[in-house]
Structure 1
Amino acid sequence: MKIQTGHGTITLTALLAIYSISMVTSLPGLAISPILGDLEHIFKGASDLELQMLESLPSFIIVPFILLAGRLSLHVNKKRILIIGLAIFFGCSVVYPFSNSLALLLVISALLGIGAGMIIPFSTGLIADNFSKRYRTRQLGIASSITNLTLVLATFLAGVLADINWHYAFLVYCLSGISLLFAFKLDSTPRTVAPQTTTASTTPSASSTKHNWPVSLMLLYYFITFLVLTVPFNLSIYMETMKHYKDPDIAGTLISVFFLAMTIPGFFINNIISVLKTYTNFIALCAIAVGFILFILKAGPVILTIGIILIGLGYGAMQPIIYDKTSSSTVESHATFALALVMSMNYVAIITYPFITQWLQDLFSTDASYFPFLLSMILGGAFAVYAYFRRNSAALGMQTQS
């Protein structure tokens, strides 16, 4: 079966291989989540720093290796880089369940971060290589949705396995084995769009923008990721202190709803852009801001669920659009590197979010559980206004693709 790309076709097997990479990118750190509360009992005598590193180390390692893999993609065969990254990741998934030493787990976590960093740029980079125009937009939306959907399902699976034995939670990483098998089916030299002839009048402007780092898109992706991280980072504390819900399963369910909401827009991204046009990012930011407003109003669980869905939908719509604009704003040979730069901002936001929010809480002398939600509401609302007036700009504007 052949799949249309906008400039030819690729096989269904190759497309499934690309999808499987998107599935792996959401896995780092998942196995630790369901055993966080038990780590002190599992590793008696371990310091708080060591336990925190077990959770955060992969994210720290991922960032430089995303950039390294993106840079290498300019000179080294992409399939080779991808297979090496998947082999490292899968190797870690095999060793993880047999590890009883915290020191060994930290070493494996670091190696997992290396493997993940080498994989992540290609979840979108291979789509940029193989698809163009609206076909690329659609596939980036689907890939984004697969990443978010896998996050929900794998988190649930890790929790179920952890209830049996904490070692078994690490088995979720074995999903990378599917991606590794599929990776060998990829073309070593993916087909790309034939370069277009440029005229003398267009060459200067093109050359001045094509090779620059996508700084505005990097900042945009960091900003919206920073906003929505308020939900997974602070929801459980908010529900306990503000709503007096002591059952952690309630917060866990709402976080799952949040990630599920993020998956929906990606499957319909072309339709969304077709209807909303230049207002797409503005309306997405409005949805995020309104979602946080419902938290500030201290509404009931049904209204809070609506708020969480709005936040998830807004972020889920902007994510593939940012990927698409990144790939379309650079020359084809540099698309993977540009996407690596942008995607690294997701992990930079995860790493910096706790420090920035804590600094702001200290600055305003508050430890109120609603403060992060208030902060995200203000920032989201202000940026929505900015996006309205900048809806035709390079980063926030939308161009219809045939």
Structure 2
Amino acid sequence: MSSKRKIILMIAVLCTALPDIGAGTATPAIALVAKAMPDVNKSLIQMIVSIPSVCLIFFPPVYAALTRYVKKKKLLLLAFILMLAGSIGPTIFNDIYLILACRFIMGCGNGIIMPITIDLIIDMYEGHERQSMLGYAAAVTSIGGILFQVLGGVMGSINWHYCFLATCVSVPCYLFALIFLPDVPIPVSDEGSRKFEVRKCMKPSLLFLGGFMIVWEMMYFVFLTNISLYLVNAGIANAAQVGVITSTVTVGGMIMSVLYGPIVRVFHEKVLPFAYLVTACGFLVICLGHTALVMGMGALLIGIGYGISAPCQLNLASNLIPREYASVATSVCYTARGIGGFVSPLVITAVCAAAGTAQEVFPFRLAAGVLAVFGVLMIVYLRKMRIKINT
């Protein structure tokens, strides 16, 4: 393959890594939507943000099954149509239930697009190239998250309907991907069958990794769901400073995602426990800090940990089962992340209630302790698997 063709292929694959996972475009305009619908229950309005993320729990397994019968390029086209319909619909309707239905449609599209990016990388790249591409994809997703939030806020300030259209900025990217991506053949097993063999794809090692990812995402969402209220209520930072602190996580994750390939080639399997422990240190800094600057340093450490762990866990999952079942590994990872993000507020609230403590700094202490313990458990897990992450 010529160098020009390689560059075009790389751009086409990375163009699929720009999905808005549901929160990005709508979050900045939620207050405006609530103001425009004063008679609608606030929990229903908040579901505008949560429904696409909940779809991430259920749809990746459906995607994995579809890959046995439908080519991934056709699935990408289907996802593109679903996302476009789910983005345009809320600009037309004023009924909350119709808007939520559109967000569900968009969530189904997300449930296809997010795992398909990783699948394409696994299909088309090997070794060090795969490592670098996984990192680049995570970085592009981070850039997309920033872009969608900014555009959603700006367009929502004009009219709350318009915030949903911010996702349409990715249309040229998906068109580029559909034009230049090759038609990857439908994978078959060694016996020539397209049917799933549960014993081959649902190995205990993969399910254990899924458990790690559920816990990881639960603890990561402790930061996303609690940091703003904690900093403002404690008088540590104002709203503008909170915005800068939370964006530091994205910046840290983006930088480490770009550097992920070289890092994993040096540290091999040690990089994943390191990511857990660095994130635990980030939460510890937040627990001990009393200034916005220190909080920003803690957020940066959390972003560094996330930027390493996200591509690393996906690559590890793909190495645990036969290559023709890579779609299953990807769907397990994204389903685990969806579950972790969804149950995080519920679990943290229950733990705080059981401990009889206010939900202030305690969730951050809990996250620091849990991630430190699971960082050690990850060392044991990797030794048991005897697998190098850079393979």
**TM-score, normalised to structure 2's length?**
0.90
Kept in 1, the 8 Å contact 2:142–2:254? The answer is yes
CA–CA separation in structure 1 for the residues paired with 2:269 and 2:338? 28
**2:334 alignment partner in structure 1:** 343
1:22 paired residue among 13, 17, 23 = 17
> Is residue 392 of structure 1 aligned with residue 386 of structure 2?
no
> Is residue 69 of structure 1 aligned with residue 60 of structure 2?
no
Letter of the 2:300 counterpart = I
> Is residue 184 of structure 1 aligned with residue 179 of structure 2?
yes
Matches within 5 A, 1:227-306: 227-245=219-237, 247-306=238-297
Letter of the 2:12 counterpart = A
Matches within 5 A, 1:132-281: 132-181=126-175, 182-189=177-184, 212=203, 214-245=206-237, 247-281=238-272
Kept in 2, the 8 Å contact 1:120–1:340? The answer is no
The alpha-carbon deviation at position 105 of structure 1 amounts to 0.8
CA 1:100–1:379: 2 relative to 1, 3 Å? same
Kept in 2, the 8 Å contact 1:27–1:154? The answer is no
Kept in 1, the 8 Å contact 2:279–2:371? The answer is yes
Give deviations 1:78-121, integer Å, cap 9, x for gaps: 21112111111112223332332212211111111111112222
CA–CA separation in structure 2 for the residues paired with 1:129 and 1:115? 21
Give deviations 1:117-169, integer Å, cap 9, x for gaps: 12222010111111112211111111111111211222122112222222221
For the residue of structure 2 that corresponds to 1:268, the secondary structure is helix
1:314 paired residue among 291, 305, 316 = 305
CA–CA separation in structure 2 for the residues paired with 1:256 and 1:303? 14
> Is residue 117 of structure 1 aligned with residue 108 of structure 2?
no
Letter of the 1:363 counterpart = A
CA–CA separation in structure 2 for the residues paired with 1:2 and 1:327? 27
Kept in 1, the 8 Å contact 2:252–2:300? The answer is yes
CA–CA separation in structure 1 for the residues paired with 2:349 and 2:282? 22
Kept in 1, the 8 Å contact 2:71–2:185? The answer is no
Structure 2: unaligned runs, 5 residues or longer: 191-197
> Is residue 379 of structure 1 aligned with residue 373 of structure 2?
no
The alpha-carbon deviation at position 211 of structure 1 amounts to 5.5
The alpha-carbon deviation at position 391 of structure 1 amounts to 4.6
CA–CA separation in structure 1 for the residues paired with 2:40 and 2:12? 40
**Range that drifts further, 12-21 or 132-141:** 12-21
Kept in 2, the 8 Å contact 1:229–1:350? The answer is yes
CA 1:175–1:337: 2 relative to 1, 3 Å? farther
**2:194 alignment partner in structure 1:** none
CA 1:188–1:45: 2 relative to 1, 3 Å? same
CA–CA separation in structure 1 for the residues paired with 2:241 and 2:371? 25
Letter of the 2:23 counterpart = G
CA–CA separation in structure 2 for the residues paired with 1:180 and 1:264? 24
Kept in 2, the 8 Å contact 1:18–1:123? The answer is yes
Letter of the 2:66 counterpart = L
Kept in 1, the 8 Å contact 2:349–2:359? The answer is no
For the residue of structure 1 that corresponds to 2:181, the secondary structure is coil
CA–CA separation in structure 1 for the residues paired with 2:135 and 2:236? 37
1:44 paired residue among 38, 60, 72 = 38
For the residue of structure 1 that corresponds to 2:180, the secondary structure is coil
**2:349 alignment partner in structure 1:** 358
CA–CA separation in structure 2 for the residues paired with 1:189 and 1:129? 8
The alpha-carbon deviation at position 233 of structure 1 amounts to 0.8
Kept in 1, the 8 Å contact 2:17–2:141? The answer is yes
RMSD: 2.5
CA 1:389–1:211: 2 relative to 1, 3 Å? closer
Letter of the 1:353 counterpart = S
Letter of the 1:60 counterpart = V
CA 1:74–1:211: 2 relative to 1, 3 Å? farther
The alpha-carbon deviation at position 299 of structure 1 amounts to 3.1
Structure 1: unaligned runs, 5 residues or longer: 4-8, 196-206
CA 1:398–1:300: 2 relative to 1, 3 Å? farther
CA 1:149–1:347: 2 relative to 1, 3 Å? same
Kept in 1, the 8 Å contact 2:25–2:151? The answer is no
Letter of the 2:360 counterpart = S
More helix by share: 2
The alpha-carbon deviation at position 274 of structure 1 amounts to 2.9
Letter of the 1:172 counterpart = A
Letter of the 1:28 counterpart = G
CA–CA separation in structure 2 for the residues paired with 1:323 and 1:291? 22
1:53 paired residue among 43, 47, 54 = 47
Letter of the 1:95 counterpart = G
CA–CA separation in structure 2 for the residues paired with 1:10 and 1:137? 20
**TM-score, normalised to structure 1's length?**
0.88
1:325 paired residue among 280, 299, 316 = 316
For the residue of structure 2 that corresponds to 1:110, the secondary structure is helix
For the residue of structure 2 that corresponds to 1:74, the secondary structure is coil
Give deviations 1:170-229, integer Å, cap 9, x for gaps: 12110342243122332222599x98xxxxxxxxxxx96656372122112222221111
Alignment coverage as a number of residue pairs: 382
